[in-house]
Amino acid sequence: MSALISELNPEQLEAVTLPHQSALVLAGAGSGKTRVLTTRIAYLIQSGQVSPHGILAVTFTNKAAKEMLVRIASMLPIDTRGMWVGTFHGLCNRMLRAHHQDAGLPQAFQILDSADQLAVIKRLLKALGADDEKFPPRQVQWFINNAKEEGLRASQVETYDDFARKMVEFYRFYEQQCNKEGVVDFAELLLRSYELLTRNEHLREHYRGRFDHVLVDEFQDTNRLQYKWLKLLAGNRAAVFAVGDDDQSIYAFRGANTGNMKDFEKDFRISKIIKLEQNYRSHGNILDAANTLIRNNSGRLGKNLWTSEGHGEPIRVYNAPTDFDEASFIVEEVKSLRAEGVVLSQIALLYRSNAQSRVLEHALFNASLPYRVYGGMRFFERQEIKHALAYLRLIANPEDDNALLRIINFPVRGIGMRSVEQLQDEAGRQGGSLWAAMGHKYRGDAAFGPNSGDKAQVRLESKPWLDKPKKGVEGFVALIESMRQVCEKLPLPEVVEHMLEHSRLAAYYRAEREGADRLENLNELINAATSFVHEAEDDSLTAFLSHASLEAGEHQAGGGQEALQLMTVHSAKGLEFHSVFLSGLEEGLFPHDNSRNEVGGVEEERRLMYVAVTRARRRLYLSFAQSRMLHGQTRYNIPSRFLHEIPDSLLKWLQPVQKVAIRNEDWGTGRKGSGRVIHEPGHGVPARPADIRDSAASQWRIGQNVTHARFGAGVIVNCEGHGADSRVEVRFGRTGTKWLLLEYAKLTPA
């Protein structure tokens, strides 16, 4: 016991050993948040206050959940598999599987990811003859998910105009469609689970009786529904231990509600908030920068990070003429860091938006520095994997129209648009699924239905259809039926293998010229199934499909190598690195232009900046470029306001080195082309791109930083006219872009 808690600081100790009561822990970046959470679980169990059975621990990402389980397992010699530790969605899925009948779901209900959901909505809108100019599918999707995340069904959404009424109508049809197919989207997992507990008193009391302690990680990221779910589950008995950091709330844009922290204080009668402010990660200068920065936000719960370690190095700032120069600066610095012995995997290149990675990748590629970009296409979202999963879904649940439509004619088997439309009409008439419509139409001449399995089996053995596949709908029905038969008897990896061959998916990609990678991914799917069977408690096909939907991000290829880490600031949350490069610190980019019009947008951007800064342990680089290629256009930006919010005393401005990268002919020829950065040490290569022209009034140039008496700092982005008519277009930080007559506007070069 004492070993568990001996190395905790007083606040951590207080949090870990708190008696049975609800508590809010404000845990700053690097303050040992995960450690406190897991140690508390271990402490509660080891001191006999609760059995593993009585613990419910919730996180947002699978990665965090896994990390939690690993840490608990390292502290306690218990089997963690029976514990309810997981993501909101994972736990709700678990609950709904256990009570699928009470929840009104088929046993093998399938989970739609965002792309699946969008496909269902598109199909629905089309069937309803909706004008997709007026009602873009994405917006409908957004509307539905928002409503669900507020805990509202179509019948409960209040509408004040025709547009909203139309949206609600789509929502209602969407609900019906999902119910018909036995599929649920992500938000539905939460909402169903919530409704199940609301309606079913017996179950509610069962779970309330079971969970003595509910622990929540990243509490600031919970949405309204998740909060309601927690409240419902906790009841009056359970102690809810919520850990979060309002300063690291960066997901308001997708429904996270920091207000939950304040509600929590009230609803759970929290008498005392424990603050973890001692930081074990970063040196003083980095923390001071983060603290001063975040103080510009209003309505914070308030917290100041400190460290017992020294100030460390100053924060390095680099002002680059162009994004290319910025990238080559970073490359040079990375090289010298590596020479100093910092391993590449401990260096992160962070940026606000994914589009910024390209120029960095290019420079890294040319410098032969290994790197890994996070946040690309996920394994389970790849086209070929989606196809394969669609077959598997049909095996598990043939009513899944979405899956059926994806592969009814892939690989092609002569089912054209017309046949599909006929089937859809038929399904519409029957009010059932497409599969049911097929059965209706082909009953008698094709193997179909629960009792026709034997027939299919005989057919399969006597005349293997692989040699002579039946075409058309009849062939498709026979194919799926035979797969369903065969798969009942095989272990999961062999089911996948069988499906890949007999669906002819494997053959299709084997024949495809560029299909090698896809084929490899399909093989990887068999591997994924194999390891799933070894690791999971439940190794059924349905469980595997849930895993594929809920943990799509987990299965990322090519991890572990010694490589630089490239990612957005969002995906860096929770991670730490020896050295961090934060590039693109420009107004319009970070803070992003689009956030300026949103309520609280800039404050969220500032929290994002706070997250970025606090990722660095020892060294932090901040850089910006005066001109940048974005969406095919050169943009001229002024330095980010966040840069000015960090005290100058913490910063060290680096001089532009005499090595300047210029673009040559090859530069834009693509990632794997022969593009090359030319280094010309000591040569006076002009730092500015060649496309900058002198304006009429020659003292002003495009790209020049200027100051305006009223609008403040800006940068000239365009100019026109001669003599007294000369006008310049200036982009200012707050005011946006303005055309100014040089004769009147009091501009000073900055």
Partner DNA sequence: GGCTCCTACTTTTTT
Partner DNA sequence: AGTAGGAGCC
The SS3 of residue 636 is: strand
Of 409 and 707, nearer to DNA (C-beta) is 409
> Which of 18, 31, 42, 60 is the binder for DNA (CB under 7 A)?
60
CB of 186 to DNA, least distance (A): 3
226 is catalytic: no
The yes or no reply on residue 376 touching DNA (CB under 7 A) is no
d(CA 668, CA 297): 41
Are 87 and 222 in contact by the 8 Å Cβ rule? The answer is no
Q: Which of 126, 247, 228 is nearest to 177 (CA)?
A: 126
Of residues 436, 626, 544, the one with CA closest to residue 93: 544
**Residue 253 is a binding residue for DNA (CB under 7 A):** yes
- How many Å apart are CA 334 and CA 342, to the nearest integer? 9
Cβ–Cβ under 8 Å, residues 30 and 614: yes
Q: How many other CB atoms sit within 10 Å of the CB of residue 369?
A: 17
User: Is 551 a binder of DNA (CB under 7 A)?
Assistant: yes
Distances (CA, A) of 659 to 327, 331, 583, 625, 718: 12, 12, 19, 16, 28
Rounded least distance, CB 442 to DNA, Å:
18
CB of residue 253 to DNA, shortest distance in Å: 4
Q: Is 568 left (phi over 0), alpha (psi -120 to 50) or beta?
A: beta
148 is in an annotated binding site: no
Q: Annotated catalytic residue: which of 34, 46, 49, 556?
A: 34
* Residue 94 C-beta: closest distance to DNA, Å: 11
Question: Which residue is listed with tokens 């951590």?
Answer: 12
Tell me whether residue 122 or residue 262 sits nearer to DNA (CB atom).
122
Using a 10 angstrom Cβ sphere, with 0-12 exposed, 13-18 middle and 19 or more buried, the burial of residue 710 is exposed
Residues 553-612 that bind DNA (CB under 7 A): 553-554, 567-568, 570-571, 592, 594-595, 598
Please say which residue, 677 or 742, places its beta carbon nearer to DNA: 677
Count of residues that interact with DNA, criterion CB under 7 A: 47
Does 478 appear as a known binding residue?
no
Distances (CA, A) of 725 to 208, 274, 708, 719: 76, 63, 18, 11
Q: Report the alpha-carbon distance of residue 13 to residue 33 in Å, rounded.
A: 12
Q: Identify the DSSP state of 628.
A: E
Q: In the complex with DNA, which residue's Cβ is closer, 276 or 625?
A: 625
Taking CB under 7 A as the rule, which mask of x and - marks residues 80-109 in contact with DNA?
-------xxxx-------------------
Binders in 206-245 for DNA, by CB under 7 A: none
Does the active-site annotation cover 248?
A: yes
23 a known binding residue? no
In the region spanning residues 382 to 411, those forming contacts with DNA, defined by CB under 7 A, are 409
Nearer to DNA, 77 or 558 (CB): 558
Residue with structure tokens 């973890």? Answer: 276
Tokens 């109508």 sit on residue: 169
Nearest CA to 518 out of 416, 387, 390 is that of 387
By CB under 7 A, name the one of 49, 345, 354, 485 that touches DNA: 354
569's torsion region: left (phi>0), alpha (psi -120 to 50) or beta?
alpha
100, two tokens = 């699928």
**Interacting positions 184-203 with DNA (CB under 7 A):** 186-187
| Gap between the terminal Cα atoms of the chain | 62
* Cβ proximity of 122 and 130 under 8 Å: no
Find out whether 414 is annotated in a ligand binding site: no
CB 248 within 8 A of CB 611: yes
- Which residue, 61 or 304, has its beta carbon nearer to DNA? 61
Paired sense of beta strands 84-87 and 55-59, if any: parallel
For DNA, the binding residue among 82, 491, 670, 686 (CB under 7 A) is: 670
Q: Which amino acid is at 721?
A: G
Check residue 142 for interaction with DNA (CB under 7 A): no
- Binding segment (CB under 7 A) for DNA, from list 259-267, 281-289, 624-632, 656-664: 624-632
Which is closer to DNA, CB of 138 or CB of 206? 138
- Here's the x/- map for DNA, 300-329, by CB under 7 A: it reads as ------------------------------
Kindly tell me which of 256 and 563 has the beta carbon lying closer to DNA: 256
The nearer residue to DNA, 322 or 452, going by C-beta atoms, is 322
Full DSSP string of 287-322:
HHHHHHHHTTSSS------B-SS---SPEEEEEEEE
Beta bridge partners of 25: 243, 274
Nearer CB in complex with DNA: 352/727: 352
Of 220, 222, 248, 258, which one is the catalytic site residue?
248
Q: Which of 21, 107, 114, 664 binds DNA (CB under 7 A)?
A: 114
- State the sign of the Cα–Cα–Cα–Cα dihedral 216, 221, 226, 228: positive
- Quick one: which of 95, 234, 289, 550 contacts DNA (CB under 7 A)? 550
Of the candidates 149, 181, 218, 247, the residue annotated as catalytic is 218
The answer to whether the annotation marks 29 as part of a ligand binding site is: yes
218 is catalytic: yes
Q: Which of 82, 416, 656, 749 binds DNA (CB under 7 A)?
A: 416
116 is catalytic: no
**615 annotated active-site:** yes
55 phi/psi in degrees, rounded to 5? -105, 135
Query: Does the annotation place 32 within a ligand binding site?
Result: yes
Specify whether 139 is catalytic. no
Give the interface segment with DNA, choosing from 71-79, 421-429, 629-637, 707-715 (CB under 7 A).
Answer: 629-637
Q: Which of 12, 33, 192, 441 is catalytic?
A: 33
Q: Based on the shown chain and the rule CB under 7 A, indicate whether residue 375 belongs to the binding site for DNA.
A: yes
**Residue 215: closest CA among 114, 367, 64:** 64
Contact 306, 290 (CB under 8 A): no
Which pair of tokens denotes residue 609?
């900046």
**Binding-site annotation, residues for ATP:** 27-34
Residue positions annotated with a catalytic role: 33-34, 217-218, 248, 615
Cite the annotated binding site by residue number: 27-34
Binding region for DNA (CB under 7 A): 60-63, 87-90, 113-114, 122, 186-187, 250-251, 253-254, 352-355, 358, 375, 409, 412, 414-417, 550-554, 567-568, 570-571, 592, 594-595, 598, 629, 631-632, 668, 670
